[in-house]
Amino acid sequence: GAVVSQHPSWVICKSGTSVKIECRSLDFQATTMFWYRQFPKQSLMLMATSNEGSKATYEQGVEKDKFLINHASLTLSTLTVTSAHPEDSSFYICSAKAHGRQIGYGYTFGSGTRLTVV
Amino acid sequence: AQKITQTQPGMFVQEKEAVTLDCTYDTSDPSYGLFWYKQPSSGEMIFLIYQGSYDQQNATEGRYSLNFQKARKSANLVISASQLGDSAMYFCAMSPTNTGNQFYFGTGTSLTVIP
B-facing residues of A in 26-45 (CB < 8 A) are 32, 34, 42-45
Give the confidence band of B110 by pLDDT, cuts at 50, 70, 90.
very high
pLDDT of residue B97: 78
Strands (E) located in chain A: 4-7, 10-13, 19-25, 32-38, 44-51, 57-58, 67-73, 76-81, 90-96, 108-109, 113-117
Which chain A positions have a beta carbon within 8 Å of B50's beta carbon?
A: 103-106
Phi, psi of B98 (to 5 degrees): -95, 15
- Return the amino acid letter for B113: V
Chain A segment 86-105 residues within 8 A of B by beta carbon are 91, 93, 95, 97, 103-105
A-chain residue closest to B40, CA distance: A111
Residue of chain A whose alpha carbon sits nearest to that of B10: A41
Determine the Cα–Cα distance for residues A17 and A19; give it in Å rounded to an integer: 7
> Which of B4, B17, B19 minimizes the C-alpha distance to B115?
B17
Q: What is the mean pLDDT of each run of 10 residues along chain A (118 residues)?
A: 88 97 90 90 90 88 94 91 96 83 71 96
> Helix, strand or coil for residue A86?
helix
pLDDT at residue B88, rounded to an integer: 97
pLDDT attached to residue B100:
62
Q: Please give the biggest Cα pair distance in chain A.
A: 42
The answer, yes or no, to whether residue B101 has pLDDT greater than 70, is no
Q: Is the pLDDT of residue B59 over 70?
A: yes
Q: Whole-angstrom Cα distance, residue B8 to residue A33?
A: 30
Residue pair B78/B20 in contact by the 8 Å Cβ criterion: yes
Query: Got the DSSP string for B17-64?
Result: S-EEE--EEE-S-SSEEEEEEEE-TT---EEEEEEETT-SS--EETTE
Give the H/E segment covering residue B106.
none
